[in-house]
Structure 1
Amino acid sequence: MAYTLDLKTFTDKRGNLTVIEKVIPFEIKRVFYIYGVDDSIRGGHRHHKTIQAAICIQGSCTIYNNDSKTETKFELNQPNKCLVIEPQDWHTMYNFSKDAILMVFASEFFEAEDYIYKPYDK
């Protein structure tokens, strides 16, 4: 089941500094980011083994999650909130603001065989 983490943030008159240290629950093997998205839906898959941690570092987006038991929508609109997506979590990402940048850390290198595109039956 997907869940959110609060990232440690230091704020003063100069601005904000958010630290990602010792909170991601896996070794990071890949980092990618999604931006410039129109009204398309991204994702539409789950994994055999990859765990992901998603942070909307600018703007906002919605992530729909279904782990075969529970369906949840997460609004990512703060750069100090991180959504951990487990391998069994079938997810889509949509409703991107024009300025959205969604950064994702992954526990595995890209392998096409790790992706499962069929959603759970309802």
Structure 2
Amino acid sequence: MAELINLKTFTDKRGNLTVIEKVIPFDIRRIFYIYGVDDSVRGGHRHKTTVQAAICLVGKCTIHNDNSKVQQEFILDSPDKCLLIAPEDWHKMYDFSEDAILMVLASEFFDPDDYIYEPYHDRI
């Protein structure tokens, strides 16, 4: 099930420093980011093995999550919010602000065979 965690942030008169250390429950094998999104919906899948951590570095976006038991909606609107997405979490991202940059850390290298695009049958 998806879980929202707060990343440790140090703030002083010089600005903010956010640390991603000892909170991601996997070794990072891939990093990608999504930006320049129009009103499209991104994602629309789950994985067989990949665990992900999503952070909206700039702007905001919404992530809808469905693990076949619970549906949740998360608004990522601060770079100190990190959404952990389990392999069984069918998710889609939408409502990107014009300036949004969504960074995703992944536990596995890209493998097209790891993707399951069909939503859970009882949630259509």
TM-score calculated relative to the size of structure 2: 0.98
Q: Distance in 1 between matches of 2:4 and 2:64?
A: 13
Secondary structure of the corresponding residue to residue 121 of structure 2: coil
In 2: Cα distance, 1:40 partner to 1:70 partner: 24
SS at match of 2:83: strand
Distance 2:4 2:71 in 1: 15
How many aligned positions are there? 122
For 2:106 and 2:20, the matched residues in 1 are separated by: 14
Deviation at residue 54 of structure 1 after TM alignment: 0.2
Q: Which segments of 5 or more consecutive residues in structure 1 lack a partner in the other structure?
A: none
The one-letter code matched in structure 2 to 1:34 is I
Q: Secondary structure at the match of 1:65?
A: strand
Q: Which residue of 1 aligns with 2:19?
A: 19
- Corresponding residue for 1:118? 118
Structure 2 spans left out of the alignment, 5+ residues? none
User: Hey, which bits of structure 1, 4+ residues long, moved more than 6 A?
Assistant: none
Question: Which residue number in structure 2 is paired with residue 30 of structure 1?
Answer: 30
The aligned counterpart of 1:6 is: 6
- Give distance in 2, aligned partners of 1:88 and 1:29: 19
Residues 48-94 of structure 1, C-alpha deviations (whole Å, 9 max, x = no match): 00000000010000000000000000000010010000000000000
> 1:74-113 counterparts in 2 under 5 A?
74-113=74-113
Distance 1:14 1:38 in 2: 33
| % identical equivalent positions | 69
The RMSD of aligned alpha carbons is: 0.4
Q: Report the alpha carbon displacement of residue 5 of structure 1 after superposing the two structures with TM.
A: 0.9
